[in-house]
Amino acid sequence: MKIKSVKTWLQELPLTKPYTIAYKTISDTEIVFLEITLENGITGTGAANPFSAVVGETPTITLANLQTDFVQQLIGRDIRYFNQIIDEAVLQFPQLPGTIAAIDIALHDAFCQFIGIRVVDLYGSKKEAMLTSITIGIKDTAAMLEEAKENFVTGFKVIKIKTGLDVEQDIERVTKLTEQFGNEMLIRVDANQGYDLVQLKYFLQQTKQLGIELIEQPLPVGKEKELATLSAADRIILAADESLIDAGSALQLCNALTPYGIFNIKLMKCGGIRGAREIAVIAANAGIDLFWGCNDESMVSIAAALHVAYSCSNTKYLDLDGSFDLSSDLVTGGFILKDGYLYCSDAPGLGLNKIK
């Protein structure tokens, strides 16, 4: 079955409310969409929202890449050879993971619809449903507690709070959260490279009895060797995010004294489903758990991340809340959220429905 048409565009989508991380405040997002339509009318949808501070690619760059002759010349190619097309795209757009992710996701969606199976089943489903965390940006303790209560009432059982601006306030926040919810809510922390080693050690010491599930990217990229001074028990709850981009960086982090016990995989960092599975295999062989994250993204790429996450046996954590922040989206479906758990759609491909 041949590809009949290719369409791409950039959509600016406001967030339901602005939020703050360690180095910026975010109020809206730009997402690039890609549609690949086959001769029989099946349309595969991809989407990308790369974070330039991490991978050096912006949505504007992604859009320009997807408008090149290389992508337009996919018309006439056979969807059954989608893996070959992805290989060619990787060579055509090196170090441009947003571009590759859009192509990769759209091709997976189209191919799996064509053969009548879900994307997760193409690689073998290993998980059925897991809890996802929902993220709260940096804000004062009272506001953070109020937002956490709202999320708890709607069914979420895992909270991830952004930290990294003031370690004393961060300790206060997680302490108050524990006092408020006890064992009813799991707590994760994302420092977004905001600590130095002294601050991290202090945070770990002061919160050791609180049962924090994990701490994401506490030190700046390039400071990984400093984590070797921590105990194995402390390192095992640390998750690499900005330090982990692709399979190459995954290999570098799997040294004799692994600085992180958890890898945060984002399709916008590694170039989609194929790139994510490469990291997953490396992590599995090193005994490292997987934590699936996202930017502010459409349901398109969130669904893709969920499908690939459930195809990996070492998946342990989900943080796939990026589409919840959008005030609107261009699709529905893809996954089901129930009581804080995420389920893949039963429909073929990614199970998306385009909003008309």
pLDDT of res. 197: 97
pLDDT band for 20, please (50, 70, 90 cuts): low
Instruction: Check if 3-117 and 121-354 are the same fold.
Output: no
Pick the CATH number of 3-117 from 3.30.310.10, 1.25.40.10, 2.60.40.60, 3.30.390.10: 3.30.390.10
Q: What is the mean pLDDT of the chain?
A: 95
The answer, yes or no, to whether residue 356 has pLDDT greater than 70, is no
Instruction: Report pTM.
Output: 0.95
pLDDT for 336 beyond 70? yes
Q: Which amino acid is at 62?
A: T
CB environment 270-307: b (16+ within 10 A), e (fewer): bbbbbbbbbbbebbeebebbbbbbbbbbbbbbbbbbbb
Given a contact cutoff of 8 angstroms between Cβ atoms, the answer to whether 18 and 26 are in contact is yes
Using DSSP's 3-state secondary structure scheme, residue 247 falls into helix
Selection from 270, 261, 328, 338 nearest residue 299 by Cα: 328
| pLDDT score for 54 | 93
Question: Which CATH architecture best describes the domain 121-354?
Answer: Alpha-Beta Barrel (3.20)
Q: How far apart are CA 14 and CA 11, in angstroms?
A: 10
Checking if the pLDDT of 303 tops 60, the result is yes
pLDDT at 14: 86
Domain extent listing, the chain? 3-117, 121-354
